[in-house]
A and B are shown apart, each in its own frame.
Chain A
Amino acid sequence: MSTHRLRVDPVACDAYGFCAELLPERITLDEWGYPVVDGTPVDRGLVELARRAVAECPRRALLLEAAEA
């Protein structure tokens, strides 16, 4: 089963924080408002929500990459 992993492009990221609001299961914000991404794989139940979070990022800084489990 192919899973996915979330990654942040730290150069593009501008600390909007939408990702942490939309996917608190995997993303929290540090004290300066920048995302800390849990690197554990995103399973099927969470993928749609993850895709939504990726689409909402105003800087397209959140990436969902296919990863071998």
Chain B
Amino acid sequence: MSTLTAPALASRLLSPELDGRDPTSLADHLALRGELPPLRGDDAAWVAAMLQAVADSGLSGRGGAGFPSARKLAGIRRAGGTPLVVVNAMEGEPESLKDKVLLTAVLHLVLDGAAVAAALLGARRVVVCLPADDPSGTAEVLRRAVAERARAGRSGVEVVVAARPGGYAAGEESALVEGLNDRPGLPIFRADKATPLRVGRAPALVHNAETLAHLALIARHGAAWFRSAGTAASPGTTLVTVAGAVVRPGVFEVELGCPIDVICAAAGAPDDVAGVLVGGYAGTWLGPQHLGTPFERGALAELGATTGVGVLVVLAASSCGITETARIARYMAGESAGQCGPCVFGLPALAEDLELLAVGRAGPTTMDRLRGRASLIAGRGACRHPDGVVRLVESALVAFADDLERHARGHACRGTAAPSVLNIPRNARPGRRAA
């Protein structure tokens, strides 16, 4: 692993000057960041200029899909009706902490971003969605910050803080909107993905909290400033949660394009690792030979990976990648919404095959069956949940190919009994049957 060099860590969102300040204080926030420029939502020229700035900045979503933000905004503007801004801080990915950090350390920045988005859309309402099962009282803190902003006359919009039921897929766009429509919070089948989701009659802009935080900085400092970090194809900085076999797990802000091993080194990863899970539980395992890959879309795409929700899970050399993948697959099977057959039946089947491989009970047909099932499950659900698990599994078969050979012949390995480095929670709805 290369030694950490200063430019690896960035400090745009997570400024070191945040230390010692009260994150809920609006005054402190403005002293640090400066004022937002006036949001002239009813001035067509201002709106056009700001939309252009967002487009020029190349900002893309930080919630996993990486969709260009300017295009998303344009799509909602084209839809009829008064839009609604939904701040997605559900953070269903168990290993991810970045949205929690944002809502505790830089919540006013997120609210600024929501205000900018609202002005660009002519929206009059913002709904901040965070998990209801969070014990740390973030919702209350947020409500107080919202009230303070209202008193300071900083809101042309009404901001509502909504604590929603959690779970892995709780932040899936359509599931979130269904929940806001007082229907069961499950993903829906969208025959035409271009039609915007609506809360009531309002077309909904669903943006990850981090994306909006970046938007707030772009509004202050401009597109050129945003592009001065990162790479040409993937500009800006991003928050990465490093977890697993590291000494200092946590959230780091990095420039996009920073090599993965440099990021992991910042968290105190060992020199010798079995692999790194890139993106989250629906992400991609990369073997040790690929850890110099820049953490940005293009380079990762060549390896069949994405930045996902900005999670890097480091696997120690003493762990077994197949076993850890089996654990994730079993958890993900339990997080199925239970609506689509290939997911409801396919994911537990994948998990079962992986478990057999992990504990050394694989038969002569297990590997072929696993590969066959994986190829048949992806793309046949209403949402991307099964696709993510298939990507995880197929990447494990590549990244841990050597170890896999032993397992396929019906043997466990020393790593199977090692304690897990993962933070797998209990399933949100355990024992749920298919709908």
A7 touches B346 (CB 8 A): no
B380 touches A15 (CB 8 A): no
Interface residue total, chain A, C-beta cutoff 8 A: 16
A36 touches B376 (CB 8 A): yes
B189 touches A12 (CB 8 A): yes
Which listed residue (B191, B373, B380) contacts A34, Cβ 8 A? B380
Which listed residue (A11, A15, A31, A65) contacts B339, Cβ 8 A? A11
Interface size class of B (residues with CB under 8 A): 10 to 19
Q: Is A24 an interface residue (CB 8 A)?
A: no
Task: Please give the distance in Å from A24's CB to the nearest CB on chain B.
Answer: 17
Report the separation of the CA atoms of residues A36 and B378 in the bound assembly, to the nearest whole angstrom. Answer: 11
Task: Please give the distance in Å from A17's CB to the nearest CB on chain B.
Answer: 11
Report the separation of the CA atoms of residues A45 and B341 in the bound assembly, to the nearest whole angstrom. Answer: 30
Q: Interface residues of A: mostly helix, strand, loop or mixed?
A: loop
Instruction: Please count the residue pairs between chain A and chain B whose beta carbons lie under 8 angstroms apart in the complex.
Output: 42
| Residue in A closest to B376 when the chains form the complex, CB atoms | A30
B189 touches A9 (CB 8 A): yes
A13 touches B345 (CB 8 A): no
Report the separation of the CA atoms of residues A30 and B381 in the bound assembly, to the nearest whole angstrom. Answer: 13
B-chain residues with CB within 8 Å of residue A13 when the two chains form the complex: 340-341
B380 touches A36 (CB 8 A): yes
B-chain residues with CB within 8 Å of residue A8 when the two chains form the complex: 380
Report the separation of the CA atoms of residues A36 and B319 in the bound assembly, to the nearest whole angstrom. Answer: 37
- With contacts A11-B188, A11-B382, A34-B341 known, what are 19 further pairs, Cβ within 8 A? A8-B380, A9-B382, A10-B380, A10-B381, A10-B382, A11-B189, A11-B339, A11-B340, A12-B189, A30-B341, A31-B373, A32-B341, A32-B342, A32-B346, A33-B341, A34-B340, A34-B342, A34-B345, A36-B380
